[in-house]
Structure 1
Amino acid sequence: MSSDLWSFSLDLYAKPGVEPACLALQAAGANVCLLLCGLWLEQRGVTFDEQRLEQLRNLAEPWDEQVVQPLRALRIQWKEAALEDARLNGLREQIKRLELEAERQLLEQLETVTKDWPKERQAGAGQWLQSVAGNAGRLHHDALHQLRVAVSDT
């Protein structure tokens, strides 16, 4: 699997079952970029730490709320109308690309924050995904399992 978070995320998201698992967790309130970062940290063997988790959330949540979610909401809002209007569909595709770019920039920020975190391969590394998923992970345990299986298949 790729060493940088963006490439890791693209590779993982392309695996069977990952997209629906991420979307189910997202619908339950999880931040997909944090999920991907959590998986990446687990795969790298970074020991879980509550302060590190809080640092990631403090970075991700404002960007997600102010940038990613408004783009996503607009893209979703235009979905039906864009099926019948080619001009609107073109704009919707631009919004979709902007949303993806906003997520890429967030993943790059998350990678920058975590780049010097020690890789210890201790038992605590497996806590990242469950912790970043929060309540969504408790509601969709199967989706978390699907993500872990996809990472282990690399």
Structure 2
Amino acid sequence: MKYVRVEPLQDLFGYMHDPQPYLEILPQLAAQMPLGAAEYASAPGHYDFGSTKCVKDLTFGWTSLQDASGALSLKIYFEPNEWKHESGLLIEYADVQKFQIETNHADHSLKKMGSMQLDEVLPSSYGLTHEFAFTGGTLMVTAKDLDATWTDKIPR
């Protein structure tokens, strides 16, 4: 991530989280983002660790990638942490150009991604890039725009 900092602590028992550099430049970035991405990144509570609408501690649930009408659409559902969130988060991406998952497991298997630490949405020449940092890896999406909904219903 370019602005949001997520770094393992030296004792290997947790992470240091610092979204402040991103939050400081977010008004300028949001003006360059597609509308859905700007609303998502700027939503109240997004980086407030005590908020039920904070992405920290969500877990990767499932994904669905479809080729419809000549463009790829992607849905990703993040499951809630039972101690923090009232519902899960469904993000739907329009006209996907890139979808990449990397794990940091030694055998490079797609084991549990772990809990989300933080994310970062940036404007791009295509529309947006959206990067997620998990305890077990990273996820990156490049798309035209996104629509995010906090929901307890799990559509597929």
Same fold (TM over 0.5): no
Instruction: Judging by fraction of residues, say which structure has more strand.
Output: 2
| TM-score, structure 2 as length reference | 0.27
Higher Rg: 1
| TM-score, structure 1 as length reference | 0.27
